[in-house]
Amino acid sequence: MVNPYEAYVTYLALKRHFSSEQYDYFKYNGKIRCSEESFKKCRERFFFEKLSRKKKPQEIIDLFVSNFVAVDNPSSLWIGDIVKNGESIYKESQKIRESLSYIFEQDLRELTDNSHLYELVKVEGSKHPKIIKLFLNKNIRFETFFILIKCLELKKKYDQALDDPIWKIISNKISKYENFFRGDLSKYKGIIRKHIS
């Protein structure tokens, strides 16, 4: 099991990872300036003590990552919200991860039933492409959205075309999630090719 202070450090490091362009959880090996003394003074210490009794180190990381990915703005996610609602988000993300290729194929079939994939991802001026609108309206799962952005190499294109704070947050989330993604993108490229051929 993880001790409460380690859970606290992991939370702060992952929050900074998903909120800041500069900090990289992997580059700094999850390290962040934070003393045990500051943890002892932390008002939310109880939440970390509660979590540390239930979770192993990797489960703590997965819990936090799934919750930071699920919110619109990771910098606003409070540990109390994770303790209160985070377990259901974590369990749902675990279920998605276990059958991701099936879920992705189902999502892609639904997306392309009425529209060609090209129509969903194309940029017109500085307006959000349909795929981003679908994601913002929660009509598409983050995992499916992430896979499409990565496989179709859309991030750089969108970064250049879209100069707005909403896309900037989403773009940062995609970059920050990349090293946590455990799937094989070449497999998903094959699924995409099958649906657009």
Tens digits of per-residue pLDDT, 70-91? 998 899 999 999 999 999 999 9
Single-letter amino acid code for the residue at 172: N
* Beta bridge pairs of residue 109: none
Is-contact 173 71, C-beta < 8 A?
no
Per-residue pLDDT, averaged over 162-188, amounts to 94
Which fold is adopted by the domain 4-94?
Helicase, Ruva Protein; domain 3 (1.10.8)
Beta strands (DSSP E) in the chain are none
Asked if the model's pLDDT at residue 196 lies above 80, the reply is no
Its pTM stands at 0.91
Tens of pLDDT along 13-59?
999 999 999 999 999 999 999 999 999 999 999 999 999 898 999 99
Q: For position 16, what pLDDT does the model report?
A: 96
Domain boundaries defined on the chain: 4-94, 99-196
Q: Which two tokens stand for residue 122?
A: 């194309």
Is-contact 158 171, C-beta < 8 A?
yes
State the CATH architecture for 99-196.
Orthogonal Bundle (1.10)
